[in-house]
Chain A
Amino acid sequence: SQKIEQNSEALNIQEGKTATLTCNYTNYSPAYLQWYRQDPGRGPVFLLLIRENEKEKRKERLKVTFDTTLKQSLFHITASQPADSATYLCALIMDTGRRALTFGSGTRLQVQP
Chain B
Amino acid sequence: DTGVSQDPRHKITKRGQNVTFRCDPISEHNRLYWYRQTLGQGPEFLTYFQNEAQLEKSRLLSDRFSAERPKGSFSTLEIQRTEQGDSAMYLCASSFLRQGEEKLFFGSGTQLSVL
Q: Give the interface of A toward B (CB within 8 A).
A: 4, 6, 8, 31-32, 34, 36, 41-46, 49, 51, 89, 91, 98-106
9 other contacts beyond A31-B100, A91-B104, with CB at 8 A cut-off? A8-B40, A42-B109, A43-B108, A44-B106, A89-B42, A100-B56, A101-B45, A104-B42, A105-B42
Interchain nearest-CB distance for B26 vs A (Å): 12
Contact B40 A46 (CB under 8 A): no
Give bound CA distance, A99 to B54, whole Å: 12
One of B40, B43, B56 near A44 (C-beta < 8 A): B43
One of B41, B56, B58, B104 near A46 (C-beta < 8 A): B104
Q: What residues on A are CB-neighbors of B25 within 8 Å?
A: none
Within residues 27 to 56 of chain B, which ones have a CB less than 8 A from any CB in chain A? 33, 35, 40-45, 48, 55-56
Contact B48 A100 (CB under 8 A): yes
A-B contacts counted at CB < 8 A amount to 57
Give bound CA distance, A74 to B48, whole Å: 28
Q: What are 10 sample pairs from A and B whose C-beta atoms fall under 8 A apart?
A: A32-B101, A41-B108, A43-B106, A43-B107, A46-B104, A46-B105, A49-B101, A103-B35, A105-B42, A106-B42
One of B40, B58, B93, B108 near A105 (C-beta < 8 A): B40
Instruction: Give A31's nearest chain B residue, CB to CB.
Output: B100
Give bound CA distance, A100 to B42, whole Å: 14
Q: Give the interface of B toward A (CB within 8 A).
A: 4, 33, 35, 40-45, 48, 55-56, 58, 91, 93, 100-101, 103-109, 111
Q: What residues on B are CB-neighbors of A100 within 8 Å?
A: 33, 45, 48, 56, 58
Question: A43 with B42: in contact, given A31-B100, A32-B101 (CB under 8 Å)?
Answer: no
Give bound CA distance, A100 to B23, whole Å: 18
Give bound CA distance, A89 to B41, whole Å: 10
Q: What residues on B are CB-neighbors of A34 within 8 Å?
A: 103
Give bound CA distance, A12 to B44, whole Å: 26
Contact B41 A105 (CB under 8 A): yes
Q: What residues on A are CB-neighbors of B111 within 8 Å?
A: 41
